Structures are given as C-alpha cells and as structure tokens.
Amino acid sequence: MNNNDFVNNVTTELAIRLANTEIERAKFKAQATELTKQNRELQKQLNDLKKQPAPANEATNDDEQGLPAK
C-alpha cells in the first residue's frame, strides 16, 4: 500500500467514525431532552401533591416511621 492509499483509507475511516459519533451525539441529546421533559413533569406532579392537604384518616410518613407529627 502506498502512502496515498494509506492516507485515503485513514481519512475514510475517520470520516466514518466522525459520522457515527455525530449520530450518537444526536441520539444522546434527544434522550437528554426527553428525560429533562419527564423530570419537569414529575417535579410538577410532586409540587402538586405537596400542595394537597393530607387526608385526616391516613397515616403520614412521619407517623409510619414513629416520628412525632408536625
């Protein structure tokens, strides 16, 4: 293999690797975006639950753990 063939092969291999890396980066970014969206939705649900008063007839977590009521 002469020097030009070697350079062409290396260049082709690097281009393929770069393309694959860009594809993986895009997948990772899409996954991160989706997880961020899910996180926001769960945080909103948690905040909504915190705003609701606890039913009087159900034990709270503190009661179940033997801690004094707040």
Strands (E), the chain: none
pLDDT of residue 51: 92
Each residue's pLDDT expressed in tens, for the chain with a length of 70 residues:
799 999 999 999 999 999 999 999 999 999 999 999 999 999 999 999 999 988 887 655 665 566 666 5
Distance from chain centroid for Cα 41? 13
Query: 14 vs 2, 7, 10, 23, 48, CA distance in Å?
Result: 18, 10, 6, 14, 51
User: Cα(36)–Cα(43) distance, rounded to whole angstroms?
Assistant: 10
pLDDT of residue 37: 98
DSSP annotation of 28? H
pLDDT of residue 6: 96
Residue type, 63: D
pTM: 0.57
